[in-house]
Amino acid sequence: MDLTTLPIVKPGTMTEMDRFMFECFGYIVIEDVLSPDEVQETLEAAKRLHTGKITGKLNQIGKGFEHEPALERLIDHPAFLPKVRALYKDRFVLQAAWCTVQPAGSQSVGWHADGSSAYQFKDLGYPTPLLQLRVSFNLTDQSELYMGNMMMIPGSHRSPLDLPEAVRKEVQACPIQQIICARPGSVLIFHNGVYHSPMPNNRDFDRYNMHYIYSPPWLRRSDRDATDPAFLEQTTPLRRALMGDYERPDVPFGGGYPAIPFETNGKG
């Protein structure tokens, strides 16, 4: 009997209820953001990215958006962008974009909160601040269990205690965990502090997810040292600003930085 209920929200505006659920659980889910054609196009781009590089475990490749238009298009998708804007009060950058594959018949269970082993986010203060908001697109079907689904522990971003080490490799790590069963094209948005893990993929096809990570403007990028100048040249003003590669009055941000041109979305 599954009595758990996913925090499902509608695309677009971050409503008061969306925000309440995000604060309680640390994540929300938007179903069916991409059409089947869009899923197919994005999946083909993801597969090109991983061609010849798939090993037996979870693999991730960054900054594919620099040369794959289908991955670039999702950076500012209107289904989720208003929610990111609401959470960061319009001040953020794309800190990384990771395309992950959990190969057919493989597993990489490893419960963790996101952050950096160089300096854990949880050591910055309590509750762990929002520093990497992850927007994850399912590119393959994960509507049933054991399809490489994301597994989450709701509310764990507010726990002052770590998840016990002894369960970190267990599929059933905690009685309150949830498994995100969602169709391809659905989106999961989550706080870096939430404990999560991929579920094993017992199917005969590789599982692909595309993760976009949004952070305050001063956080160092993690999938690139700098964005490819050729990409910056050809992309839209909004996406250019979301890369964080803008001129600013002074290097330490003391003079602020130019407002992100959200109103240009989709233009020029």
Ligand X SMILES: O=C(O)CCC(=O)C(=O)O
Structure tokens at 28: 């929300």
CB of 252 to ligand X, least distance (A): 30
Q: Is 100 in the site for ligand X (CB under 6 A)?
A: yes
Among residues 30 and 139, whose Cβ is nearest to ligand X? 139
Q: Is 106 in the site for ligand X (CB under 6 A)?
A: no
CB of 18 to ligand X, least distance (A): 22
Which neighbouring-strand residues pair with 187?
30, 137
Q: Is 114 in the site for ligand X (CB under 6 A)?
A: yes
Which neighbouring-strand residues pair with 211?
98, 136
CB of 195 to ligand X, least distance (A): 10
3-state secondary structure of 19: helix
Among residues 100 and 177, whose Cβ is nearest to ligand X? 100
Amino acid at 70: A
Identify which range of 95-103, 172-180, 181-189, 235-243 contacts ligand X by CB under 6 A.
95-103
Contact present, 174 and 145 (Cβ < 8 Å): no
Q: How would you class 258 by CB atoms within 10 Å of its CB: exposed for 0-12, middle for 13-18, buried for 19 or more?
A: exposed
CB of 114 to ligand X, least distance (A): 5
Return the closest-CA partner of residue 27 out of 200, 194, 230, 211. Answer: 194
3-state secondary structure of 178: strand
Q: Is 206 in the site for ligand X (CB under 6 A)?
A: no
Contact string (CB under 6 A) for ligand X, positions 52-71, x = contact: ------x-x-----------
Question: Where does this chain bind ligand X (CB under 6 A)?
Answer: 58, 60, 98, 100, 102, 114, 196, 198, 209
